């Protein structure tokens, strides 16, 4: 009897982790404008949800099933966010303000394949170099490291743009040339 209860708890836990992970991914896909992929994911999500909820409701008198369901839900939120982080969908815009107005900063970032728009700025302590850099989210951490190598004291702010239109950079990304020097040479 204990084996049956343990198997049921394990199944409910796993099913809910899968369901909530799919739910998280679907929500993020929807927010990123990928509605058709989100709709496809939601078909599987609802099947898993109904199966898991059915197991709990059929055995509602067993408190361990309800606890497994709740625990699976919490774990699913964490797993879903980790999956989304690994997928790194979309783009990130990074604004950088450097206390060193040396224009080699922009050249070095452009050589690495980043699209950089820069302008001179004036801050509390004098001249600054201000830059706006757009990159796929999967390169976000690499970009931060590049910036910190060039100027460890740079002020960095990032956000996700909702819509991108035009510019040479979008064409480079679509051709797969961004941050891939081998493709640039061919």
Could you report the per-residue pLDDT of 102-141, keeping only the tens digit for each?
A: 668 888 888 888 888 889 898 888 889 999 998 888 888 8
Could you report the per-residue pLDDT of 76-113, keeping only the tens digit for each?
A: 999 998 998 888 878 889 999 998 776 688 888 888 88
Q: Phi, psi at residue 153, to the nearest 5°?
A: -100, 10
- E-state strands within 5-109: 91-98
Could you report the per-residue pLDDT of 30-51, keeping only the tens digit for each?
A: 888 888 999 999 999 999 999 8
Tokens of 147: 């910036």
Q: Among candidates 108, 138, 106, 134, which has minimal Cα distance to 119?
A: 106
For tokens 């999500």, name the residue.
45
């Amino acid at each position: 009897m204990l084996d049956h209860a343990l198997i049921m708890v394990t199944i409910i836990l796993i099913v809910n982790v899968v369901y909530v992970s799919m739910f998280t991914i679907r929500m993020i896909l929807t927010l990123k404008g990928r509605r058709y992929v989100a709709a496809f994911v939601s078909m599987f999500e609802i099947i898993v949800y109904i199966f898991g909820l059915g197991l709990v409701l059929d055995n509602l008198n067993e408190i361990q099933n309800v606890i497994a369901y709740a625990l699976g839900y919490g774990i699913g939120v964490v797993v879903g966010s980790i999956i989304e982080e690994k997928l790194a969908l979309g783009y990130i815009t990074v604004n950088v303000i450097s206390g060193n107005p040396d224009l080699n900063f922009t050249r070095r970032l452009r050589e690495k394949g980043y699209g950089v728009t820069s302008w001179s700025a004036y801050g509390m302590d004098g001249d600054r170099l201000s830059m706006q850099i757009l990159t796929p989210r999967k390169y976000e951490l690499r970009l931060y490291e590049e910036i910190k190598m060039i100027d460890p004291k740079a002020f960095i702010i990032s956000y996700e743009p909702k819509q991108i239109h035009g510019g040479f950079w979008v064409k480079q990304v679509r051709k797969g040339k961004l941050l891939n020097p081998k493709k640039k040479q061919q």
